[in-house]
Amino acid sequence: MLNLWPKILGGVLVLAAVTWAVLEIREDGARSVKQAIERQNNEAASQSDARRGDYDHCIDGGGVWDFGAGKCRRPPPRRWN
């Protein structure tokens, strides 16, 4: 019976090491996915800011923004009354 304890202790240590390794791998994967999503969000925000500037510039210049095409169209013709 005394000979059994080292084997049990060794098995528990191996199980703990495997569990720790699995948890570290999962955490690293989750961190990688979060960073990828954050990069995508930052890129989308940057593009949004640029497009907002284009829109503002168009409207300030008297143009009409075509949302479907995503670009500025010439201003509508003026009515002379």
57 occurs within a structural domain: yes
If one counts the domains in the chain, the total is: 1
Helix (H) or strand (E) holding 73: strand 71-73
Q: pLDDT category, 53, cuts 50, 70, 90?
A: confident
Q: What is the residue range of 57's domain?
A: 43-74
- pLDDT value of position 5: 86
Of the candidates 71, 19, 28, which has an alpha carbon nearest to the alpha carbon of residue 63?
A: 71
* pLDDT tens track for 2-48: 688 889 999 999 999 999 999 999 999 999 999 999 999 999 999 98
Q: What is the pTM of this model?
A: 0.54
60 occurs within a structural domain: yes
